[in-house]
Amino acid sequence: MPDAQPLVDFEAGQQVIDINNPSLPGIYTGRHRKAGSAIMVELRFPNGTTKFRPLSILEIVNSEATKDLKEQVKSKRFGRLIDLQRLVTYEKLKGTLHEVIYSMEAAQIDFYPYQFKPVLKFINSPTERLILADEVGLGKTIESGLVWTEMQARYRSNRLLVVCPRILAEKWREELRGKFQLDAQIVDFNGLRHAFDELKVNGPEHSFVLIGTYTGLRPPKAERAVLKIPPEEGASSSPKTDLLRELRFWDEEYPPLDMVIFDEAHNMRNQATTTFHLGECLSANARAVLCVSATPVNNSNIDLHSLLRLVDEDFFSTQSSFDDLIDLNRPSVHAANALSQSPVDVEALKWAVKGMEKSEYINESPLFEQFLKKLDALDQADFCDAGELSQCQDIVEKLNLLGSYVNRTRRVQVKENRPQRVPQVVSVEYTSQEMSLYQAILNIVRQRCKVNKKAFHVFQVMTLQLMAASCLPAFSERILSEQLFDDENLIGEALGDSGFESVSSFGAFQERDQLNELLEYDFEKNDSKFKELLTVVKAKKNEKIIVFAYYRPTLSYLRRRLLESGEDVAIIHGGIPMANRWAEIERFRNSTGPRILLASEVGSEGIDLQFCHVIVNYDLPWNPMRVEQRIGRIDRVGQKARRLLIINFKIAGTIEERIHERLHEKLEIFKNSLGDLDEVIGEEVKKLTISLLGNELTADEERRKIAQTQQAIENKLNMMRELEASGDAFIAFSDYVQKKVEEDRGRGRYIQPAELESYISDFFARHFKGTEINYNTPINGCLRIRLSEDAKISLGDFIHGDQSLSAKPLRRKEICITFSREVMQKLNSDQRRRIFFVNHLSPLIRWVTQINKDKEHNFYKLAAIRAASESVPSGVYLYRVERWVMKGINSIEKLAYGLINLDTGMCYSSSDSEIFFQEIINDGRDWDYRDYDEDVLLCSFDVLEENMQEEFDVEVTQFEIENKNILQTKSKRVATIFDRRIEQDKRRLETLMIAEREERVCRMARGRLAKAKENKAQRLKALKESAKILPETEPVAVGIVRVER
């Protein structure tokens, strides 16, 4: 029974707080009792628990006082470190902070700063559309996934379509599922049609991640003109064209696609093709567009313009306007490149500034005026002030008119330790019988080519040469079994796209009788080439090895012989279904699986094998591109080895040997570019093939022909380099953006695994009594969570209907999770089935954040903390965190930090305070017994608040300058576009009047002209309205910190 004597000065049902932990208010139950001299009061907390607490440390919650931060400071109601951590993590998880990179640490990938450059460009893009043009092997698929992850976090985007060549569809599915936890589905046209039918029924909450192919989705060629006719105007068309017209003229309030990604987007370079029209229709009403291509430029800037039209049709409406923009933009790019040099290239910078002064898009910009002032300050400091230099780089980046549309990273820019390629040649000496068969086949090929030197015929006949050069035992066995030409796509495997169809129409092998005597030899027993392969395999007994061959019977032969030799092998080629190929890859990847993978080019296309660092080219395709593509399977981002061993088999005295020596080795200087230039090299190799096989040539004559081809390819490659250099008028190759990524990571501007663990633990402790969390279980870095019944019900309601991969494990009462990608990457396959990776996009975190949002008013904004710091001296400090919002044409939200030393009164900048803030968030601890001067604290509160307001004023002024710059640029763009249309309408009207056409036709032309003028005025007015600045600030947290060394 409660003691009747002591009086409690608050009533049952009132909310009270513990002055030592004011962030966790409780409700007085009406029960109290004595414990010695203390009076104990029973409180019920939000998570359902009840506790007796001493009356002496309890206060009634004054709702008015708790709203005013200064009053809370005055009343000394300081909370704990966890209150500050909860607030900051919650603010980040809202997904709207401009400077937070939400895709960082959110996927199962290693961290490479350059891969986040497209993310930063996308965040700052005026159109949310980008051409991703990194060189081959740098991870464009991963970069695309990171951009999509950013969209999911910032805008709750949920509808993604990837369009790619058929051969890459499975790779995209595996990458999105394995690295980004997206339930991606490969669909044909009917599947895509069904998805949009479902969307119209279910509305914008309907989600999907789909992968389609260019060949599967593009419309019939005869219906290209119909695509521009709105559906309501009739015009019969096929189902594909009907759907594309519907998407092009989409009339719902929400976009049909949040993002469409076009992989190998150079397939859309030709504006006359149905593939380009497919891209036009899909991108017309998509919120965001990514065009992914290592080769956006092939023959001229016309190629790039075609892709840019898909990115921003209005801005890049005509080729001539695009060429003008390149010329106007070139000086700002040169200025950026000059500033990136160490030391700064002052002469080049001065030349670039003169060019910028002549650019109508740049010289009137308020940002350019600011840029000139900053350059003067930098000049005064002899171009050595790092702060001023960084600001100049930031401004010139924003003055780049076209830079926000294209991201291009070259291999030479990537600082991560790239492996060294170590080539090794295995020279095989044929026996006399082997060489006799090889020469006999070469003679047959040449005799046939002399009869008919047309390219199509030469390539048909060349299959004999390719078979013999690949593997004589497999070739002879095929002749003897009369299955010589059963292998499909041999030309495609060996040479790439030859422009011809299958060679299966070769016809009968009429020269068989000429080989009867030679075929009596046991080529398998005396296989010189295989003996050398066994030597290599045994020498690399602890290594995983990939053996490439373009001839499928060669792969089958090697598989049988290696198995007989006691080696376990996996095999992939173009004749094996993609799902089976992936299964073989997983077998090969497993440490206990086969250590040899037999592969063809087509079989391995779209498959990354960077967990292996030894490849054997058992045969050598004539086209160096095919060899480069083989090497590219392992020389990719994520390769951990320092050296890649490339073992090339060549047969002494053969055409293949001469091609290797004169073509492959000579083109080694272009190895960083070869992966981008398939079309350039392929055409020259086709000409060489016809020349070598269509004529009787001596070995010296063959060498001269090969040398001529080498020179022709080098000339074209150099021309391509010059063309790309001219394209540098829109891409600055400085390290500025990458440095920004590294700075953001260093400042903790991403959702860190430790944050999520603290966030989850705090949540369950506050809201769901009975939920058990076991840390470092079942292994270090993991959590085992056993949900209480009410938590299970609440989470179940939240994920009801969510069929995503990340939601499925959450339906269990007990789940094992990790927030760390490093931990996840170390798990074996069995552990991966039981432990699940959780990032901030997981339904689990979204559920927690939703409940926190509903109870946000209960968040406590004060904390007292102790921390060790290297960035500020010892002493007592007051910190302050504010949310700054600036709305204009573009909007920015950010967390701003302030710090003041109570002893010296020194205020720290927001930038310096942010560095210190990361220290206390990550390594601070509660400050329970606080000692400070209360009067100084309250005075410092006002000083710090005023100091942050002054910084905010500076920030808003800068935002106004940038907003005005964007307004000017966009207004010029709108005016240019509409002025062109108005001029066209004027000329048409004049032509009609001169021709004395009927009044009805002239009236319609006048109407079009008037409408164009009206639309121009409306667009300019809307732009001006959107440019009005709306700034606001809101306090997020305040507290005191004792800094100790």
980, 833: one domain: no
Residue 1028 — φ and ψ, nearest 5°?
-65, 130
Residues 322 and 301: their CA atoms lie apart, in Å, by 9
- pLDDT at residue 33 in the model: 78
Strand-pairing partners, residue 423, are 646
Residues 1000 and 386: their CA atoms lie apart, in Å, by 67
132 close to 144: Cβ distance less than 8 angstroms:
yes
What residue type is 432 in one-letter code? S
196 domain residue, yes or no: no
Q: CA gyration radius for the chain?
A: 34
The DSSP-derived string for 914-934 is HHHHHHHHHH-EE--S----H
Residues 593 and 828: their CA atoms lie apart, in Å, by 13
Tell me the three state secondary structure of residue 21.
strand
Of 507, 534, 518, nearest in space to 452 by CA: 507
DSSP β-ladder status, 21-35 and 38-44: antiparallel
Query: Which CATH number does the domain housing residue 41 bear?
Result: 2.40.10
The b/e string for 391-401 (b: 16+ C-beta within 10 A; e otherwise) is: bbbebbbbbbb
Can you give the three-state secondary structure of 735-763, one letter per residue?
Answer: CHHHHHHHHHHHCCCCCCHHHHHHHHHHH
Residues 907 and 896: their CA atoms lie apart, in Å, by 14
Residues 34 and 909: their CA atoms lie apart, in Å, by 51
What residue type is 320 in one-letter code? S
DSSP structural state of residue 135: P
- pLDDT at residue 551 in the model: 85
Residues 623 and 627: their CA atoms lie apart, in Å, by 7
12, 30: one domain: yes
885, 1018: one domain: yes
866 close to 1040: Cβ distance less than 8 angstroms:
no
460, 506: one domain: yes
Q: In which residue ranges of the chain is pLDDT below 50?
A: 1-5, 64-65, 298-299, 497-506, 669-680, 723-730, 733
Residues 48 and 769: their CA atoms lie apart, in Å, by 6
837, 878: one domain: no
Which runs of E-coded beta strand occur in 802-949? 814-818, 835-837, 862-868, 875-887, 891-901, 907-908, 925-926
633 domain residue, yes or no: yes
Of the residues 802, 837, 858, which one is the last residue of a structural domain? Answer: 858
> CA torsion, points 784, 788, 791, 797, in degrees to nearest 10?
100
852, 937: one domain: no
Would you state the structure tokens that stand for residue 272, as one six-digit string? 């006359």
Strand-pairing partners, residue 1042, are 866, 876
Question: What is the dihedral sign for C-alpha 723, 729, 734, 740?
Answer: negative
- pLDDT at residue 786 in the model: 94
Of 1024, 1004, 1014, nearest in space to 982 by CA: 1014
569, 678: one domain: yes
- Report the number of distinct structural domains present in the chain: 4
466 close to 550: Cβ distance less than 8 angstroms:
yes
Element (H, E) at 535: helix 528-539
Residues 819 and 153: their CA atoms lie apart, in Å, by 16
338 domain residue, yes or no: no
Q: Which residue has the tokens 């309408």?
A: 985
936 close to 72: Cβ distance less than 8 angstroms:
no
Residues 96 and 91: their CA atoms lie apart, in Å, by 8
The DSSP-derived string for 366-401 is HHHHHHHHHHHHHHHTTT--HHHHHHHHHHHHHH-T
929, 830: one domain: no
DSSP structural state of residue 644: E
847, 866: one domain: no
Of 569, 533, 573, nearest in space to 551 by CA: 573
Neighbours of 895 (CB within 10 A): 22
On the CB side of 887, how many CA atoms lie within 13 Å of its CA?
8
Condensed to tens digits (0 to 9), the pLDDT of residues 865-908 reads: 999 888 889 999 999 999 999 988 888 899 999 999 999 999 99
Residues 530 and 124: their CA atoms lie apart, in Å, by 56
Residues 411 and 408: their CA atoms lie apart, in Å, by 10
What residue type is 785 in one-letter code? I
Residues 156 and 18: their CA atoms lie apart, in Å, by 38
909 domain residue, yes or no: yes
> CA torsion, points 75, 78, 79, 85, in degrees to nearest 10?
120
Of 257, 256, 224, 252, nearest in space to 240 by CA: 224
162 close to 130: Cβ distance less than 8 angstroms:
no
On the CB side of 262, how many CA atoms lie within 13 Å of its CA?
33
272 domain residue, yes or no: no
Element (H, E) at 1033: strand 1030-1044
597, 688: one domain: yes
Q: Is 659 exposed, middle or buried (0-12, 13-18, 19+ CB in 10 A)?
A: buried
Of 788, 806, 818, nearest in space to 844 by CA: 806
- pLDDT at residue 492 in the model: 56
Residue 700's domain spans which residues? 420-727
624, 637: one domain: yes
Question: What is the dihedral sign for C-alpha 111, 114, 118, 121?
Answer: positive
Neighbours of 250 (CB within 10 A): 17
495 domain residue, yes or no: yes
Q: How far is CA 875 from CA 524, 669, 901, 930, in A?
A: 83, 60, 7, 12
- pLDDT at residue 734 in the model: 53
Of the residues 858, 878, 903, which one is the last residue of a structural domain? Answer: 858
On the CB side of 746, how many CA atoms lie within 13 Å of its CA?
11
- How many helices (DSSP H) and strands (DSSP E) are in the chain? 36, 28
Residues 752 and 829: their CA atoms lie apart, in Å, by 25
614, 700: one domain: yes
Of the residues 858, 881, 905, which one is the last residue of a structural domain? Answer: 858
Residue 446 C-alpha from the chain's centroid: 49
517 domain residue, yes or no: yes
Element (H, E) at 965: helix 934-994
Query: What strands, in cross-sheet order, belong to the sheet with 58-60?
Result: 50-54, 38-44, 21-35, 15-18, 58-60
212 domain residue, yes or no: no
> CA torsion, points 960, 963, 968, 971, in degrees to nearest 10?
-130
Q: State the maximum Cα–Cα separation within the chain, in Å, rounded to a whole number.
A: 121
What residue type is 697 in one-letter code? L
Query: What are the residues whose beta carbons fall under 8 Å from the beta carbon of 613, sequence distance 6 or more?
Result: 419, 543, 544, 634, 639, 641, 643, 644, 645
Q: How far is CA 151 from CA 123, 128, 225, 839, in A?
A: 9, 10, 34, 15
Would you state the structure tokens that stand for residue 1039, as one six-digit string? 């507290």
Q: Which residue has the tokens 């070598």?
A: 692
Q: Is the peptide bond before 255 cis (omega within 30 degrees of 0)?
A: no
Query: Which CATH number does the domain housing residue 467 bear?
Result: 3.40.50.300
The b/e string for 411-449 (b: 16+ C-beta within 10 A; e otherwise) is: bebbeeeebeeeeeebebebeeebbebbebbbebbbebb
